[in-house]
Structure 1
Amino acid sequence: MLALTSPALAVDVPSGQPVELQEVLVDNLGTETWLRFRFIAPRIAREWGEIGFADAEPDMVHLCETLALPYIAEYGLKGEVIVISLADRATEFGVADPDATQFFEAYRPVDNTCIWEGL
């Protein structure tokens, strides 16, 4: 797995919640390359959060189309699947954190748009 680090980047999303890019990971799974865009979204916290999955879902599509696709083009990345994840706090990829709230969606990049995979 390759981690592409970048300084924290705040992003505007439809729900209006604050969202910050934590990291981008390139992950080879079998014959496919998955590009994982991991965001911190504190307002999804399960104990006191104001944003549920239904409100965050349009945010994830928006992040895929307005941030992930241009990022992929800018850095010349290739991948069959884009995963957008939101977490209420910074987490380490692949390490269980039972206190963290996390939402995930997967998309196929097709003709400069993100097609929901429904994994």
Structure 2
Amino acid sequence: MSTSHVAAEASLPVPSGQPVYLDNVLLDENPGELWLRFRFVAPNIGQTVGRVGYDVSAVDMDHLCATLAVPYVAQRELVPARVVISLSDKAVAFGENAPDVTQFFEAYRLENADCIWEEF
């Protein structure tokens, strides 16, 4: 698995307007095929009152797939089996157990430069 760390200075634009920062991109072949994992920190997500919930964050993840993942894949001429977009309220090492961290995930397959949601 290779990791590309990205230091995002400013929040990325998403439909909800919540702050979202790219933490890193992982090229993961452990599932037996290439999965690209775009990992973001979104400090305001969570289930408590006043936090940004999954329903709103799901729209943001769709947007991040379309606006960041699709161009990334095209520019690098990659052919991933899946693209995973994840949001965490704190940065967490990949695969680390962090029960105190809220994390939302969505998986997509890319088809004709479109992100097609894949239900787990």
TM-score, length-scaled by structure 2 = 0.91
RMSD of Structure 2 on Structure 1 (CA): 1.5
Structure 2 equivalent of residue 70 of structure 1? 71
**Is residue 109 of structure 2 the alignment partner of residue 111 of structure 1?**
no
Instruction: List runs of 5+ in structure 1 lacking aligned partners.
Output: none
| Pairs aligned (count) | 119
What are the superposed Cα offsets for residues 16-63 of structure 1, whole Å, 9 maximum, x if unpaired?
A: 101000000011134321000000001103456521001111100000
Whether the aligned pair in 2 keeps the contact of 1:42 and 1:49 (CA below 8 Å) is no
Amino acid at match of 1:99: D
Tell me, which stretches of 5 or more residues in structure 2 are unaligned?
none
Please give the secondary structure, in 2, of the residue aligned with 1:42: coil
SS across alignment from 2:44: helix
Instruction: Give the distance between the partners of 2:76 and 2:96, measured in 1 at CA.
Output: 27
Paired position in structure 2 for 1:4 = 4
For residue 57 of structure 1, what is the aligned residue in structure 2? 58
Q: SS of 1:29's equivalent?
A: coil
Q: Give the TM-score normalised by structure 1.
A: 0.92
Between 1:28-37 and 1:64-73, the stretch displaced more is 28-37
Q: Which residue of structure 2 lines up, in the alignment, with residue 43 of structure 1?
A: 44
1:27 and 2:40 aligned = no
Taking the aligned partners of 1:68 and 1:54, their CA distance within structure 2 comes to 20
| C-alpha separation in 2, matches of 1:11 and 1:63 | 9
Distance across 1 between alignment mates of 2:7 and 2:46: 23
